[in-house]
């Protein structure tokens, strides 16, 4: 990275991805500015780096104070995918935060003289799954299937448009489902069920292959993308490189929490039928289907190898 300390602004610095990302940049010698939603969150970050409260993320957020002296921006903050979204218009809300918020930050970053901006997008931009023997690649045409995935694609496009118009280097990363301390959503629910010893109908889901990512690997890759010459203007897919079946995922989560999961071998076809009857077909399809990522471009172009594998997962 060089001998002199460089300044990076990390949005969403107190979140699941933000905490290890701040740690990775500080470990590499960066001067970190943590953008937090409010004063309480900012106070929690005080011991780790300089913090700036920016309020809610959206098209009207004022980033002026946070961007002073910043060379690189790492944009993690977003309205994330929600299984039970109760918004009157989910797409409009995703667009307001993820698209409008990203465009606003990019425009103000360019005006402030920021050299490079990194955006953590989502593999949902590529789609919800892959057929047997097929993997998502960085050059694939986008095929988002839900409001969140569409908003992430539009956020990517907004960032690239600002970058091309204003001379701001841009880097986009699309991770899959991530594992790590503080994880939320479905993986947190799975870990909780395993801890409580609940029987899980996942023992028969052994033929699918899903790519996952240790959040610490993403954090270290983001730090590399902040300075590597091969990152500018690029889009990268990223994973741990070891696809697992759903049954194996449950067993590995069990090892992470110190308890063997109680897996019941229900046939995947029966699970799919039950999912359709109960109106949960899409959720069951994610459990039984595959989503593989080919991230050879990322590894070769950035000279990067993930340091943590499934055996190292923390939950």
The residues assigned a catalytic role are 148
Paired tokens of 211 = 């790519």
- Residue pair 203/251 in contact (Cβ under 8 Å)? The answer is no
Partners of residue 237 on adjacent β-strands: 174
Paired tokens of 6 = 């460089």
C-alpha distances in Å from residue 37, one per residue of 45, 52, 114, 174, 225:
11, 8, 21, 24, 25
Q: What angle do CA 186, 187, 192 make, to 5 degrees?
A: 100
């Amino acid at each position: 990275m060089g001998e002199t300390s460089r300044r990076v602004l990390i949005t969403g610095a107190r979140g699941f991805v933000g905490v290890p990302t701040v740690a990775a940049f500080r470990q590499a010698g960066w001067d970190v500015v943590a953008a937090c939603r409010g004063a309480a969150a900012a106070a929690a970050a005080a011991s780790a780096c300089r913090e700036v409260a920016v309020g809610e993320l959206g098209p009207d957020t004022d980033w002026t104070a946070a961007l002073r002296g910043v060379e690189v921006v790492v944009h993690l903050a977003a309205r994330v995918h929600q299984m039970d979204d109760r918004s009157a218009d989910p797409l409009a809300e995703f667009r307001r935060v993820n698209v409008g918020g990203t465009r606003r930050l990019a425009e103000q970053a360019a005006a402030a003289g920021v050299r490079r901006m990194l955006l953590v997008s989502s593999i949902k931009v590529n789609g919800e799954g892959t057929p047997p023997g097929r993997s998502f690649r960085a050059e694939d045409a986008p095929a988002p299937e839900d409001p969140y995935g569409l908003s992430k694609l539009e956020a990517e496009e907004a960032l690239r448009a600002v970058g091309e118009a204003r001379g701001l280097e841009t880097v986009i990363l699309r991770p899959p489902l991530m594992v790590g301390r503080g994880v939320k959503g479905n993986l947190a629910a799975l870990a909780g069920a395993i801890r409580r010893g609940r029987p899980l109908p996942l023992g028969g889901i052994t033929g699918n292959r899903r790519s996952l990512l240790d959040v610490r690997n993403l954090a270290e890759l983001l730090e590399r993308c902040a300075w590597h010459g091969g990152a500018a203007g690029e889009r990268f897919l990223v994973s741990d490189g070891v696809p697992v079946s759903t049954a194996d995922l449950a067993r590995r989560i069990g090892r992470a929490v110190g308890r063997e999961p109680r897996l019941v071998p229900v046939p995947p076809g029966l699970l799919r039928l039950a999912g359709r009857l109960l109106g949960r077909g899409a959720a069951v399809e994610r459990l039984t289907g595959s989503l593989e990522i080919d991230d050879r471009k990322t590894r070769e172009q950035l000279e990067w190898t993930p340091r943590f594998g499934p055996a190292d997962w923390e939950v």
